[in-house]
Structure 1
Amino acid sequence: MKDFARLIARVDETTRTSAKVDALSDYFATAPDADRLWTVALFSGRRPRRAITTTQLREWAAERAGLPLWIVEESYGIVGDLAETIALILPPPAHPRDRGLAEWIATLRALADRPLPDRRAAILDAWDALEPAERFLFNKLLTGGWRIGVSQKLMTRALARALGRDEAEMAHRLMGAWDPATTSWQELVHSEAGAADLSRPYPFYLAHQLDAGPETLGDPSGWRAEWKWDGIRGQLILRDGQHFVWSRGEELMTDRFPELARARDFLPPGTVIDGELLAWRDGPLSFNALQKRIGRKTVPKKLLSEAPVALAAYDLLEEGGEDIRARPFDERRARLERLLADLPPEAPLVLPPLLDFDDWAALADARAQARARAAEGVMLKRGESPYLAGRKRGDWWKWKLDPLTVDAVMIYAQAGHGRRANLFTDFTFAVWSGNALVPFTKAYSGLTDAEFAEITRWVRRNTLERYGPVRQVRPEQVFEIAFEGIHESPRHKSGLALRFPRMARWRRDKPTAEANTLDDLKKMLAAYGQTDAQG
């Protein structure tokens, strides 16, 4: 655990990508196999199941530290991280022990089936054996709040460097449903069996945002364009008579979208398609329609009927069991068109059209119609581009529409978490309905650190009421709220909900009387919104 704690300290003390990769690579080159396996698991979202509640941890920590519980609660409010709070208040370890990361995780995993008194004794014993930096990480694993400043991409890059392996091949090995509790290091990174899991998806290729306009990309004849529909990025995998559906976040979603089981009736084994999961009825429905199905393990018949799902097939990654990602996009697209030709209406797949344009002006005209086509904008792909792993600049671009905006009044504020625990960063905004302000959205991103600090000072001076962690403030500050879409929502008092709301700017120049109205939002809904029945 000491070596792992030193790794996290090295990673946490820098913002430089190269320094983080160096630290991880050094660790992977020398750590025991079991610790390397769990480190890869943690940085790819595979954490031990929680066996202790945060309430129990606070109570036990207060008891061990000899502090009243209210002091622990107040300290937690200031620090903003329970794992760090506990690590700080506990006395020095009475019986220090040097055990590896995998050993401590084995201790955690064994807690789930033990009686509560035994769990309490095991946690107190662990706290007595760990130094503060190690306790902090142990507590992170206990609480499930594992957020360290390393992406899976950086971890994979460092692992490939340490092992002298190809990064793309390593990224593919780390995809899928492998479990560190049942998979060995050798199986994961070296054996052929580890690379041959039937359900294993390919690493997703991600596009960069195009801000300067497509003219910067050169001759348009080498580019292809598609509608950028707003759903859930996913891969449909058909192998050995089975099918699997994976999200971009490496979540296996096969059971959540039973419609896609019918793909086995129309497509051969050895097929992998990258696309967008959409609520679909003669065209894409609103994201709100799809959202009703997100998070459900089982889907009732009524919801299957109201929000049927199809996969918009954008790319073909595997055909006849052959990995064709290195082939040009134009070839992959042609193969995809042949594969999906003459699909019957009941097939759970659609082939989005390639947009026809001779020059960039024509594409701009098409993009301007994106919202009418239930799209966020267009995707641009170089015709000769291979399908790479991760976010690579050059061949794939997303050219999104400018966001919709509305001026709104801040009416509630709440402190953030982690490093922003001492700042008010989460706000509720309202628009006018007659002479009343009606809340309609929340936002917590878009301002600079300096602006968050300034608005925090203002909130503290202008609080009207407190409701637990939430403060009602004087309705004096106007912010421009940017968002990607708007739809009806009976769950909100305003009757509306926004897609991806964020603060675009602080409108210090605008009085609250000039903020937008609920009628303005309803007009936006009529012009740009989608209903669940839209085709």
Structure 2
Amino acid sequence: MKRFGALFAELDASTATHAKVAALVRYLREAPDEDAAWAVYFLAGGKPRQLIRTAQLRALALRASGLPEWLFEESYQAVGDLAETIALVLPAPTEGGAELGLHGWMTQRLLPLRGADEATVADAVLGWWGELDSLGRFLFVKLVGGGFRVGVSQLLAQRAVAEFAGLDPKLVAARMMGYTSGQRAPTAQAWRAIVAPAAGEGAAARDPSQPYPFFLASALAGAPEATLGEVGDWFAEWKFDGIRGQIVKRAGRAWVWSRGEELMTERFPELERLAAAWPDGTVVDGEIVAWDALAAPLPGFETPGRPAPFATLQQRIARKTLTARVLADAPVGFIAHDLLECGGQDLRGQAQHARRAALEALARACAPPLPCSPLLDAPDWATLAAWRARSRELGVEGLMLKHRDGAYGTGRVKRSGEGERLAWWKWKIDPFTVDGVLIYAQAGHGRRASIYTDYSFAVWNRAPRDPAEAQAVVDAIAERRPANPQGLQLVSFTKAYSGLSDAEFQAVDAVIRETTLEHFGPVRSVRPTLVVELAFEGIARSKRHKSGVALRFPRMLRVRGDKPLHEAGTLGELLALLPGA
């Protein structure tokens, strides 16, 4: 654990990519294979399952430190991170336990805690805290609490592994697909397979369930004709609002993977049945969507029905048990848009048009039918722009643009030279926007722990008649008078914590401190004074929210210093954006 702790400290202290890569390579050269397997798992994005509830960790920290609860909470608010707070307030270690590596900690200590009763967990945690220094305690809390994060991207981790092993980073990326899925613990054997010399690579050399690295699209800014040239060089498809996935059929079995490298076969039995009759050695890339079989087909679609709103798919994902009712209420479909492997042959190096022809041939031979993403025929960019303008009406997010001659790459192709011409582009519609009123604030975490960056926003339940009526509501809030349920009021509807610059956050933080009305633990209620323009990708009805709606990916665009409170958004504006409204 000490070696991994030293690596974590070195990575956390640097912002330079080359320094992070060098630190990782040094670690991999020194660490045993079983420790390297776990380290790369975490650094590449593997998420440890929460083994201990946060409330129990806090209670144990209070017990071990002897601090009163109010002082611990004040310390937590000042530090901004629970693991760091616990590491700082615990007494100095008194025991000299045997030094275990990362593999030993995970397999001999942490994983066996799963399912243990609280008393057993408490005894173990208190004893291990006595062995660890401050950094070790910090990492321990992160690992058992399920919140381990470090400033290393998956791409950077793969680059370091490639440099350590003397391999092509693309080969390492392919070998690591599924490594962080959480379905199986990383092992020394799996690690050695990743860094083995490049020889005999092919379908037979990989685990049959392993998908390919996903090719990612870049956001298209500006007019496509200025960047992409002739419209005839490009395939245009709908951008569906679902979960990007790959279905892998090998060795007589089918596996379903998400873009986040999560194995999702058991969550989507419909897709396992869809691929059951496919020939072995088939890998299809596409979109997992909720399916409305009764809706009119999308333009260009021959399959009956169309994708349902993402909120329907979200309901399905949230269910741990797939009852017959759940399967009936939120049926799932798969829209194929690329064929990556056919007959065990890797097709990714072939041109897009050749892979498309092979995909359509596969779809024609499939039973049950394999729906393919329709290609939109357009003589010019203006026609495609008109299709894009209908996206929201049709329940899609915009268009995908793929060069006819482009290969299937790894990750996101850089926007330069030939790479730009042959990349995939997502030409999305503009997001929804609404002007919200800031009513609550909470401090951030990490480097934002000292400023208020996490905000709650409200809209008017109806448009105020005039500025005076809106001001009367603000005055009532400042005087702690309850809202009139029959009158004008501000209704909380969403939270947001991203989108502003550091300077803008500092400016908003100053206003929050000047206008604070009450404290509720880490949260401050403020006198409504600021209007902020918010963007979001979608909206759905929600029984859990007072406003009756839930937003998808809300973020802040700008502080509207030019807009008075009475001109902020209304609940009616949001309800009008609901699908089918």
TM-score by length of 1: 0.91
The 3 A distance-change label for structure 1 pair 9 and 265 is closer
Q: Is the 8 A contact 1:226 1:378 kept in 2?
A: yes
Tell me the distance in 1 between the aligned counterparts of 2:48 and 2:494: 34
Query: CA–CA distance in 2 between the matches of 1:225 and 1:135?
Result: 52
After TM superposition, the structure 1 = structure 2 runs for residues 424-463 of structure 1, keeping only pairs within 5 Å, are: 424-434=452-462, 435-463=488-516
1:286-301 correspondence runs (5 A): 286-301=309-324
- Is the contact between residue 459 and residue 492 of structure 2 (CA under 8 Å) also seen in structure 1? yes
Specify the alignment match of 1:254 in structure 2.
265
Q: CA deviation at 1:314?
A: 1.0
Report the CA distance between 1:441 and its aligned residue: 2.1
Cα deviation for residue 438 of structure 1 reads: 2.1
User: Deviation of residue 69 (structure 1)?
Assistant: 3.7
Match of 1:209 in 2: 219
| Distance apart, 1:178 and its partner CA | 4.3
Alpha carbons 1:173, 1:194 under 8 Å: kept? no
Task: Report if aligned partners of 1:286, 1:530 keep a CA contact under 8 Å in 2.
Answer: no
Query: Residue 520 of structure 1 corresponds to which residue in structure 2?
Result: 573
How far has the Cα of 1:236 moved from its partner?
Answer: 1.0
SS at match of 2:576: helix
1:321-376 CA distance string (max 9 Å, x none): 222111111111110011112766x64x4211112223333322222222122111
Q: What CA distance in whole angstroms lies between the structure 2 residues aligned with 1:142 and 1:459?
A: 34
Read off the aligned partner of 2:389 and give its amino acid letter: A
- Counterpart of 2:38? 38
| Cα distance in 1, alignment partners of residues 291 and 558 from structure 2 | 35
Counterparts in 2 of 1:195-344, with a 5 A limit?
Answer: 195-214=205-224, 215-281=226-292, 282-341=305-364
Distance in 2 separating the partners of 1:122 and 1:300: 38
Alignment pair present for 1:390 and 2:390 = no
Q: Which runs of 5+ in 2 are unaligned?
A: 293-304, 415-419, 463-487
- Cα pair distance change 1:212/1:30, threshold 3 Å: farther
> CA separation of 1:252/1:220 partners in 2, compared to 1, >3 Å: closer, same or farther?
same
- Report the Cα distance in structure 1 between the residues aligned to 2:326 and 2:260, rounded to whole angstroms: 24
Cα RMSD between the aligned structures? 2.5
Aligned-partner SS, 2:275: helix
| Offset, 1:263 | 1.4
Q: Structure 2 matches for 1:122-133, cutoff 5 A?
A: 122-133=124-135
Which of these residues, 403, 406, 411, is aligned with residue 439 of structure 2?
411
The aligned amino acid for 1:390 is G
TM-score under structure 2 length normalisation: 0.84
Identity of aligned residues (%): 52
- Provide, for residues 363-406 of structure 1, a one-character-per-residue CA deviation record: whole Å limited to 9, x for no partner: 22222222122111111112222212212222111111121211
Structure 2 distance, partners of 1:398, 1:190, is 36
Question: Do structure 1's residue 190 and structure 2's residue 229 form an aligned pair?
Answer: no
Counterpart position of 1:500: 553
Instruction: Give distance in 1, aligned partners of 2:15 and 2:308.
Output: 41
Q: Give the SS at the match of 1:259.
A: helix
Do 1:426 and 1:443's aligned partners in 2 also have CA atoms closer than 8 Å? yes
Deviation larger for 68-77 or 54-63: 54-63
Which of these residues, 486, 489, 493, is aligned with residue 542 of structure 2?
489
Equivalent residues in 2 for 1:111-122 (5 A)? Answer: 111-112=113-114, 119-122=121-124
Deviation at 1:181, TM superposition (A): 5.4
Deviation by residue 1:214-256 (Cα, 9 ceiling, x = unmatched): 1212333322211111101111111222111111111111121
Between 1:515-524 and 1:153-162, the stretch displaced more is 515-524
Question: CA deviation digits over 1:187-214, x for unaligned, max 9?
Answer: 4543989952222111111111111331
Question: Offset at 1:84?
Answer: 0.9
Tell me, in whole angstroms, the C-alpha distance in 2 between the residues paired with 1:138 and 1:471: 31
- 2:63 is equivalent to residue 10 of structure 1: no
Gaps of 5+ in 1: none
TM-aligned CA distance change 1:18 to 1:367, over 3 Å: farther
SS at match of 2:318: coil
